[in-house]
Chains A and B, each alone.
Chain A
Amino acid sequence: MSNVLVELSNAMAGAAEKAGASTVLVNARRRMPASGIAFAADLVLTANHVIEQEEGITVILSDGAEVPAKLAGRDPGSDLAVLRLEKALAKPAETSSEAKIGALVLALGRPSREGIEVSLGVISAVGGPVRTAHGSIDRFIRTDTTPFPGFSGGPLVDAEGRVIGLNTSGFGRGVGLTLPADYAWKVADQLTKHGSVQRGYLGIRSQGVELSAAVQKLLKREQAAGLLVVSVEEKSPAEVGGMIVGDILAGIDGQSVEDHDGLFARLSGDAVGKSLPVEILRGGQPQTLKIKIGARA
């Protein structure tokens, strides 16, 4: 018997099977195991909060093989961690950055040796950026899938079996969130290279101030606010670059900075180590300083 319902069902099972091949079990805590997603033959992305030990971590692949793994990096801010497998036997997941509200999705996990587990739902919301207990995340996806025990670190999968995000319940209050694949993969890349997520560092304290129409005219753009520098740390990148108390920070690298969220966005990991033009207002006059962005410890 075949009809559209049977075809849809087969497609969903096919999607689960395809993504399931890259969904692994992560054994790094005493309680129940959690899940992870292979993003290279020897690299697994998982949720940071399920890594409760750094020794004796193992990963179980879709074919049942148990492979020892080492922690390559972790970032509590985004609740992501990368494990490096001793043997490059994993099958990397195919990803997609498309996340539309209402789309059919499957949440996958591999909480036991018995195989994958699946929950069906739709994308309920796409939001962000949002501050978390230890940092911030750029973007998140909400779904009405059921996060079964051991699902943290597992993938959110579209109807074609592509990974569109990583599910975690690590942000507290029992709320499940999905970190979008493009964001999570970017963090994974940094964790693989540096062992942690680098965040840019200027070394100033600042507060938001309104910019007058006259000042906006001098800036040659509409910008309602900037950041008034109220202290500059000694020997910080800002001090070395010539910034002083009383300056108003208006832009970095050609992009305007109106508030603290905007400043954080400009000071992403990509900015670390680069000398960037920093636009300030000093005595009401626009000036540009060259500041070499440091790395936050």
Chain B
Amino acid sequence: MNLSGLLNSALDELLGRIRPVLAVVMDKRRGAGAGILMGNGLVLTNAHVAGRGRSLQVVLANDETYPAKLVASDKNVDLALLEIPANGHVAAVFSEETPRPGEMVFAFGHPWGQRNVLTGGVLSAVTSLRGRQGEIPVLRADVQLAPGNSGGPLLNAAGEVIGLNAMIFGGDQSVAIPAGVIREFMETALKSVPVRAAEGVL
């Protein structure tokens, strides 16, 4: 196989890894965003996608639809954790490595409601943004995003999650919440679901 063939099969593999853990998060009034499965019936998404958590639904890759309960939400870092009455699904794999500007990244989500769309680019910057309560670390990438990508993963070339896409500036710059911030959020959030914390998610 030539190099482009090898690249394409690597992309296939990446898609195969991420597709089962990408969910659609919707409520009845507002449009859909994305979310990723964290194991044990937990779904990570953006706080602005989850809103106040009323009548939320989560649609999995196999089209199973579940009502979702808002477990935790932190508007400062734009992260929310949902729970669905389902178990045994695969969980997203998070990267342990420090993200490097220039590395290839992929965004996966549902831009404009179109499901499972992959866009590629490079990590533009490891930087920070002024949040509601001080500076928060963020990743910027030059991947194309649109509404509906919110809550979807930003992946590295190995298909591991390095961040959660949260904002879109002018179509050519995305902002993602980095894995480190997600870890901290999950630790705090899981204290409100003590039983699951004992099972050791993440």
Chain A residues at the B interface, C-beta cutoff of 8 Å: 1-6, 8-10, 12-17, 20, 106, 112, 114-120, 146, 148
Whether the pair B104, A12 counts as a contact (CB closer than 8 A) is: yes
User: How many interface residues does B have (CB within 8 Å)?
Assistant: 29
Distance, CA A4 to CA B10, complexed state (A):
7
| Cβ distance A19 to chain B, nearest Cβ, rounded Å | 9
Whether the pair A114, B125 counts as a contact (CB closer than 8 A) is: yes
A8 interface neighbour in B9, B101, B157, Cβ under 8 Å? B157
Q: Known: A1-B158, A4-B6. Is A9-B103 also a contact (CB below 8 A)?
A: yes
| Cβ distance A22 to chain B, nearest Cβ, rounded Å | 14
Q: A17-B101, A148-B124 are in contact. List 4 more A-B contacts (CB 8 A).
A: A5-B158, A13-B101, A16-B103, A118-B101
Distance, CA A119 to CA B121, complexed state (A):
8
Complex interface: chain A residues within 8 A of B86 (CB): none
Q: Known: A5-B104, A16-B101, A17-B102. Is A119-B124 also a contact (CB below 8 A)?
A: yes
Chain B residues at the A interface, C-beta cutoff of 8 Å: 3, 6-7, 9-11, 13-14, 100-104, 121-128, 140, 142, 156-159, 172-173
A9 interface neighbour in B142, B156, B173, Cβ under 8 Å? B156
Whether the pair B123, A118 counts as a contact (CB closer than 8 A) is: yes
Whether the pair B158, A6 counts as a contact (CB closer than 8 A) is: yes
Whether the pair B121, A114 counts as a contact (CB closer than 8 A) is: no
| Cβ distance B137 to chain A, nearest Cβ, rounded Å | 10
Whether the pair B121, A120 counts as a contact (CB closer than 8 A) is: yes
Q: Known: A119-B122, A148-B173. Is A114-B127 also a contact (CB below 8 A)?
A: yes
Distance, CA A275 to CA B122, complexed state (A):
53
| Cβ distance B141 to chain A, nearest Cβ, rounded Å | 9
Distance, CA A3 to CA B156, complexed state (A):
12
Whether the pair A9, B157 counts as a contact (CB closer than 8 A) is: yes
7 pairs, CB–CB < 8 Å, chain A vs chain B: A3-B13, A5-B7, A5-B11, A5-B104, A10-B157, A13-B123, A119-B142
Whether the pair B156, A120 counts as a contact (CB closer than 8 A) is: no
Complex interface: chain A residues within 8 A of B103 (CB): 9-10, 12-13, 16
Complex interface: chain A residues within 8 A of B156 (CB): 6, 9
